[in-house]
Amino acid sequence: MNSDFYSDSIVLLEGAIEDITSKLNIIKKYKEQKEGRCPIEYVTSRVKSEESMKEKLKRKGFEVTLENALTKIYDAAGVRIICAYIDDVYEVAKMLKSYSDLEVVEEKDYIKNPKPNGYRSYHIIFRLSLDLAGEIKPVFVEIQIRTIAMDFWSNLDHQMKYKKDIKNPEFIAAELKRCADEIATTDLNMMTIRNMINNT
């Protein structure tokens, strides 16, 4: 086991995130100037912690090495794109697929097909060809695209997952599920109102 595996991985993972964040900043300003608005509201990102990466590699039966960190884990570099409206989510997904150095590895639409607990989001795993002054390194990046409301809901859901000794977990889960559906309805209503405003 290489004790430096994390600091070696992290420069590539953070490099991939910086590359994609920079692409998104550029396209946002370009679309806002050219078309008056961009479907991207804001962007956040994170690199998986050393602990989670080690734990994931071990669980999957791989050795903890730089090589495995970069080829066996697809969500070590994560980018989240928050949109105002549901149709923006699909437009952003389409935009991302147009970059010549981003190749789709896997795609999941949890908006059309929400998870049983109510989770909604659009996930794409890309293989980015990161150009390091002529040396091309492939890096996997998981991009999650969702609305502001979906994102807010998932933060609360996430909080529940990491809380121990919750009383009435089934009741809370049911309430959360109900809220997720409520939020999805509001998202649709807001999009309808926006269309009414724009189409008149």
Residues engaged in binding a copy of itself (CB under 8 A): 7-8, 11-12, 14-15, 18-19, 21-23, 25-27, 29-30, 33-34, 84, 95-96, 98-101, 130-135, 148-149, 152-153, 155-156, 159-160, 163, 165-168, 171-172, 175-176, 178-179, 182-183, 185-186, 189-190, 192-194, 196-198, 200
CA distances to 32, 85, 92, 105 from 147, rounded to whole Å, are: 19, 6, 11, 23
Least distance CB 176 / a copy of itself (angstroms): 6
Own/partner long-range contacts of 87-94 (Cβ < 8 Å, ≥24 apart): 87/39, 87/191, 88/39, 88/40, 88/41, 88/147, 89/39, 89/122, 89/145, 89/146, 89/147, 90/122, 91/39, 92/39, 92/40, 92/145, 93/122, 93/124, 93/145
- Strand order of the β-sheet with 77-83 is 42-47, 77-83, 135-147, 122-132, 102-109
Nearer to a copy of itself, 49 or 60 (CB): 49
Instruction: Write down the catalytic residue from 142, 170, 175, 182.
Output: 142
CB of 111 to a copy of itself, least distance (A): 17
Smaller CB separation from a copy of itself, 1 or 133 = 133
Element at 43 (helix H, strand E): strand 42-47
Minimum CB separation from a copy of itself for residue 18, in Å? 5
| Closer by beta carbon to a copy of itself, 33 or else 113 | 33
Minimum Å distance from CB 45 to a copy of itself?
13
Nearest residue (CB) to a copy of itself, 60 versus 97: 97
d(CA 89, CA 110): 12
Q: Look up 142 and say whether it is catalytic.
A: yes
Which residues does the annotation mark as catalytic?
142
